[in-house]
Amino acid sequence: MERVVRLENFGHSFAAPGFVYRPTHPEQVEEIFAAAGQNGLHVGLRGAGRSYGDAATNTGEIVMDMQRMNRILDWDPDTGVIQVEPGVTIGQLWEYIIEDGWWPPVVPGTMAPTIGGCLASNVHGKNNWKAGTIGEHVLSFSALLPSGQQVTCSPTKNKELFYAMIGGMGILGVFVSIRMQMKRIYSGDLEVYAWAEPDLERSLAALDEAKDSDYVVGWVDATPRRSRLGRGQMHTARYLEEGEDASPLRSFRPQHQILPDTILGLVPKAVTWRFMRPVMNNLGVWAGNTGKYLMNRTLGNHKRYLQSLVAFNFLLDYVPDWERAYGPGGLIQYQSFLPKETAHDAYAGMLQLCKRRRLPSYLGVIKRHRPDDFLISHSLDGFSLALDFPVSKRSRTRLLQLLTDLNQIVLQAGGRFYFAKDSSLNPTEVSQYLGQKTIAAFRRIKERVDPEGLLQSDLYRRCFTDGVG
C-alpha cells in the first residue's frame, strides 16, 4: 500500500516525491488522516494530476490519490441528478449519461480530470459566461474533514464550507461524494461557428460580442510582430434545440463521440507528439501559427458546422501526451483573469513583454468570464488569457522572472489568478489579488476544520505560508 512515488504536474515541469496512498472507501481516508497525524506527517490530495502547477504534489509527505474512489453512486435519467465519488473522471461522467440525453454542464478542456479535482479548483469551461463554474451545478457534497468529522454541504446547509471547499484546492477537506445537476441535451452535436480576427483588440471585442452563445473561446497567436499580436481564430457553439437533430440517439452514441485513434485514418495519434517535437521552438511555432492563421482567415473563415460535444470540448485530447512535445523541461501554463475594462491594454503589454524577452507563448487561449460566489475565486467580469510556455534548463530562471513581472501587470490591472494553473505566485501576490478579507476568512475556516494543519500541498505552502507548514 504505502510507497514513495515521484509525482509530476501535468506539464512535467515539476516533480516531487510523496508517500502515495490510494483509498477506495471513506473509512480508509479517515485511517490515512489518523496515521498521518500520529506520524507527524501532512496529507496532500490528488486527483488525476492534471493541474499545471504544484497543487497536487506534497514534497516528502503523504499524497492521497483519490482515483480509486470512482463509483457512480446514483443516477436519475429523468431529472439529470447524479451522485458520484470524487475519483470519477469527466470522461467517465459524460460516457455514463449521454445516452440518456444529458451532458455535464461545465467541463474543462480535457476529460481526464476527476470530479473531486474539478471541484477543488472550481473549473470553468468554454461556457463560463453562460454557465458559470462547475461549483454552480453542485447540489450538495459530503466531505471528510481532517478532524475526522463527516459533513454534508450545499448552498443552504453548511453554506460557508460549501463556498470555501469548492475552489479551496483540497486544503480544507476531502470530497467523498458529490451530487450534481446535469444539462439536458437534444443532440450529441453542437453547431459551431468559426472565424478569424486580425489582432488582440478585435479578438477580445469579438469574444465579448459573442458572449451570450452557449460556448465562446478564441485561439490567439502570441508570436507575430507587434500590430498582429493576438490575432487568431474565434469559435462559438450552441446546443441544438429539441427536434433539430433528427436522430439524437445516433449522435449520443459513444462511437459518434469518441475521438478517433488515428489522424486522417493513417497516423496513430499516440505518436503524434513525437512529430511535433522538432518544431517546438520559437521559429517553428511562429511558422506553424502563421500557417494556421492564414488557413483560418481564408478556407476556415466564417464557417458553420456540426461537431460532437466531445470533439468541441476536449480538443486537446485529440493528441495524446501532446505536452511531451515540449521536450524534457516540460511546459508551464500561465492563466490570468482581467476585468473587461483593463484586459486589452494589460494583455497587449504582457504579450509584448514576452516577445521582448524572447520568451513567446506557444499557445494562447482567451475566454469570457463572469464572477461567482465562491470564496477562492479566479473569475470576474472580464477575460482570461492562458499562455503556454516551454521550459528548458536554460530558460527556466528567465521564465520565472517573466512570470513574476507578468504577475505585476495583472495585479496593477485589477486581475486575478487561477491556482490550478499557477507556478509563480507568492503569499504577497496572493493576498493582493484575493484581498485581506478573503485570506482571513479562509484562514479562519482552515483553523476550524483542520486545527492541526494536516491538509497541505506544495501550492499551499508556496502561496499561503511562506514555505512553512
Ligand X SMILES: Cc1cc2nc3c(=O)[nH]c(=O)nc-3n(C[C@H](O)[C@H](O)[C@H](O)COP(=O)(O)OP(=O)(O)OC[C@H]3O[C@@H](n4cnc5c(N)ncnc54)[C@H](O)[C@@H]3O)c2cc1C
User: What residue ranges bind ligand X (CB under 6 A)?
Assistant: 10, 44-51, 55-56, 66, 86, 108-110, 113-114, 116-118, 120-121, 123-125, 169-170, 174-175, 316, 420, 457
Q: Least distance from C-beta 359 to ligand X, angstroms?
A: 21
- In Å, what is the CA distance from 326 to each residue of 271, 277, 278? 14, 6, 9
Question: 49 or 101: whose CB is closer to ligand X?
Answer: 49
SS3 49: coil
Question: 144 or 251: whose CB is closer to ligand X?
Answer: 144
The DSSP code for 434 is H
Question: 108 or 248: whose CB is closer to ligand X?
Answer: 108
Answer yes or no: are the C-beta atoms of 87 and 114 closer than 8 Å.
yes
Q: Least distance from C-beta 215 to ligand X, angstroms?
A: 11
Q: Least distance from C-beta 87 to ligand X, angstroms?
A: 7
Q: Which three-class secondary structure string do you get for 183-235? A: EECCCCEEEEEEEEECCHHHHHHHHHHCCCCCEEEEEECCCCCHHHCCCEEEE
Q: Least distance from C-beta 352 to ligand X, angstroms?
A: 25
Which single residue is written with the C-alpha cell 481516508? Answer: 29
Q: Which of 364, 341, 338, 339 is nearest to 351 (CA)?
A: 364
SS3 303: strand
Q: Least distance from C-beta 298 to ligand X, angstroms?
A: 28
Whole-angstrom distance, CA of residue 276 vs CA of residue 281: 10
Question: 144 or 204: whose CB is closer to ligand X?
Answer: 144
Summarize the chain as % helix, strand, coil (round to 5): 40, 25, 35
Question: 129 or 252: whose CB is closer to ligand X?
Answer: 129
Q: Least distance from C-beta 170 to ligand X, angstroms?
A: 2
The DSSP code for 246 is S
Answer yes or no: are the C-beta atoms of 375 and 441 closer than 8 Å.
yes
Whole-angstrom distance, CA of residue 211 vs CA of residue 382: 10
Q: What is the DSSP string of 17-38?
A: EEEEE--SSHHHHHHHHHHHHH
Question: 10 or 312: whose CB is closer to ligand X?
Answer: 10
Question: 106 or 355: whose CB is closer to ligand X?
Answer: 106
Q: Least distance from C-beta 123 to ligand X, angstroms?
A: 3
Whole-angstrom distance, CA of residue 400 vs CA of residue 392: 11
Whole-angstrom distance, CA of residue 401 vs CA of residue 276: 27
Q: Least distance from C-beta 168 to ligand X, angstroms?
A: 8
Question: 251 or 375: whose CB is closer to ligand X?
Answer: 375
Question: 120 or 391: whose CB is closer to ligand X?
Answer: 120
Look at the alpha carbons of 261, 266, 271, 272 in this order and tell me if their dihedral is positive or negative. negative
Q: Least distance from C-beta 391 to ligand X, angstroms?
A: 15
